[in-house]
Amino acid sequence: MQTLHEIAPLRERLRTHRLAGQRIALVPTMGNLHEGHLALVDRARESADVVVATLFVNPLQFGAGEDFGQYPRTLDSDRERLTAHGCDLLFAPSVETLYPGGLGTQTQVHVPNVSEGLCGGTRIGHFDGVATVVSLLFHLIQPDIACFGEKDFQQLAVIRKLVDDLHFPIEIIGVPIVRAADGLALSSRNGYLTSDQRALAPALQQTLAQCRSALASGEPPGTILAAASQTLEEAGFRLDYLELRARDLSPFEPGRDAEAHLLAAVYLGSTRLIDNVAVELPQPSGADLRHG
Ligand code: PAF
């Protein structure tokens, strides 16, 4: 697997693949790769001739006081993992290479509506940073397909709308969440957890699974979410949000949406964890739906 850090040689290499009529898949990452990222590479490998991964810790998507400086940079082990999974090319630019004019004057992309609320409600500007870097990578690499994890469910919705609105000829593939044996969704941020926090963390997924069962059995969503919020807080999580949305992340409407999505963000200490689960409601009710 070749690693490139500059744009000109990246374009040159991709040009040869395009001239050969090869199908290109993109897997954008911020590195510190785990099995969740490698599932994206495996999925990309299934549908393309050439798999390009990117590794870039994108400063534009971190807010003030977030973990940009602390975010783990593990290029050597990431390279080994990508190579073992058949990735063909790694593009790992510097901040100066992607944003040569500096961050303050960088043209940014805003995806309305779907960027608002949930993680966008707490991490102000986060999805503008994501939409900007993903647009840049789409322009530079011009892939036929791009793979993103469903753990970042709102991010996936933002990217789908971005691709629709800007007419990128790219198929977006959402890849199911990869979980540890105890159910915790894999995330680079899990590495920040103390051993006590790590032991508690799977309770988030367990709570979401309990909500899914209760929702499927027809209990009122408002009652279920209120009880689950209390359970999480009493267990030691600090709740950011626990929210039921329609599958496309528009507001959930009882009576309209039998298929919905339950999304949560919590803090354990200063570490923020997110998770989500698809839910089905036999008889939607009109109870209050947001807590936290
Ligand atoms: O999901 C991530 O790792 C990042 O948000 C992404 C899509 C690579 C953009 O920086």
Question: What is the predicted pLDDT for the residue at 290?
Answer: 56
- CA distances (Å), 129 to each of 142, 180, 268, in order? 19, 28, 24
Q: How confident is the model over 199-221, as a mean pLDDT?
A: 97
pLDDT at 285 over 80: no
CA of 78 relative to ligand 1 center, distance in Å: 15
d(CA 90, CA 33): 13
**Residue 119 Cβ < 6 Å to ligand 1:** no
For residue 180, tell me if it sits in a domain: no
pLDDT band at 254; cut points 50, 70, 90:
confident
Which residues are identified as catalytic?
A: 37
Query: Residue 283 pLDDT > 80, yes or no?
Result: no
Atom 6 in ligand 1: residue holding the nearest Cα: 29
Same-domain status, 64 and 102:
yes
Please indicate whether residue 288 or residue 42 has the higher confidence score (pLDDT): 42
Whether residue 181 lies inside any domain: the answer is no
Q: Kindly report the CATH number assigned to the domain that includes residue 90.
A: 3.40.50.620
| Ligand 1 close to Cβ of residue 61 (< 6 A) | yes
Is 153 found in the same domain as 26? yes
**What 3-state DSSP class applies to 276?**
strand
* pLDDT tens, residue by residue, 116-171: 999 999 999 999 999 999 999 999 999 999 999 999 999 999 999 999 999 999 99
pLDDT at 255: 80
Q: Which residues contact 104 (CB under 8 A, 6 or more apart)?
A: none
What is the number of the ligand 1 atom nearest to the C-alpha of 137? Answer: 9
User: In percent, how much of the chain has pLDDT > 70?
Assistant: 97
Domain assignment present for residue 161? The answer is yes
**Are 47 and 168 in the same domain?**
yes
For 48-74, write each residue's pLDDT tens digit.
Answer: 999 999 999 999 999 999 999 999 999
State if residue 134 touches ligand 1 by the CB under 6 angstroms criterion.
Answer: yes
Task: Give me ligand 1 centre to Cα 28, in Å.
Answer: 6
> How much is the pLDDT for 291?
55
Residue 24's identity, in one-letter code, is I
Number of the ligand 1 atom closest to the C-alpha atom of 57: 10
First to last CA, the chain: 45
Look at residues 175, 196, 218 and tell me which one is the last residue of a structural domain: 175
Measured CA distances, 7 to 137, 252, 282 (Å): 10, 43, 51
Question: What CA–CA distance (Å, rounded) separates 87 from 289?
Answer: 43
> Does residue 288 register a pLDDT over 60?
no
Query: 116 with 65, same domain?
Result: yes
Round to whole Å and give the CA distance between 20 and 11.
14
Is the same domain home to 102 and 135?
yes
3-state DSSP: the chain helix, strand, coil percent, rounded to 5? 40, 20, 40
Residue nearest to atom 5 of ligand 1 (CA): 130
CB of 128 closer than 6 angstroms to any ligand 1 atom: no
User: Cβ distance 36 to 177 under 8 Å?
Assistant: yes
Q: How far apart are CA 51 and CA 43, in angstroms?
A: 10
How many structural domains compose the chain?
Answer: 2
**What pLDDT score does 244 carry?**
98
Q: How far is CA 125 from CA 112, 113, 173, in A?
A: 11, 13, 24
Query: For residues 39 and 178, what is the distance between their CA atoms, to the nearest angstrom?
Result: 8
Q: Whose CA is nearest to atom 8 of ligand 1?
A: 29
CATH number at residue 266: 3.30.1300.10
Are 119 and 8 part of one and the same domain?
Answer: yes
Angle, CA of 176, 129 and 56, to the nearest 5°: 70
- Residue where a domain stops, chosen among 175, 201, 232: 175
Provide the token pair at 238. 């600090």
30 touches ligand 1 (CB under 6 Å): yes
What is the arithmetic mean of pLDDT over 240-265?
Answer: 94
CB 170 within 8 A of CB 163: yes
pLDDT (0 to 100) of residue 284: 46
Q: Is the CB of 130 under 6 A from ligand 1?
A: yes
Strand arrangement, sheet containing 50-55: 2-4, 89-91, 50-55, 24-29, 145-149, 171-175
- What is the per-residue pLDDT for 162? 98
- pLDDT, mean of residues 233-252: 96
Q: Is the pLDDT of residue 198 over 80?
A: yes
Helix (H, G, I), strand (E, B) or coil at 162: helix
For 1, the token pair is 């697997």
Q: Is the pLDDT of residue 267 over 80?
A: yes
Domain span holding position 36? 2-175
